[in-house]
Amino acid sequence: MNELYVIECRKPDGSLDFAAPQPESVFGMRAINGISEDAMAKIVYRRCPNAVLTGTNIPSWPANVDPRWHARRKTW
């Protein structure tokens, strides 16, 4: 099964950050409902072609677009 990720906007202290822009403004509702690695990589690469998109740093891929954004595996 293909893993899905949710993309969150967080403050440096780890609490949720509701300030604009939010990840769904770039990734669409898939940021909330779940996005595959491939779909996330395509969007990040389009916005930041120099991004390092290796399998070891998937949670940090969205930070290439906005440093407050991080991905985590969807567990539900």
1-56 per-position pLDDT tens digit? 579 999 999 999 999 999 999 999 999 999 999 999 999 999 999 999 999 999 89
DSSP string of the chain, one letter each residue: ---EEEEEEB-TTSSB--PSSPTHHHHTTHHHH-EEHHHHHHHHHHH-TT----GGGGGGGGGGT-TTEEEEE---
47-71 per-position pLDDT tens digit? 999 999 998 999 999 999 999 999 9
Give me the number of domains the chain comprises.
1
Q: Residue 58 sits in which domain range?
A: 4-73
pLDDT of 1: 54
pTM of the model: 0.90
Q: What percentage of residues in the chain have a pLDDT greater than 70? A: 99
**CA-CA distance, 37 to 46, in Å (whole number)?**
14
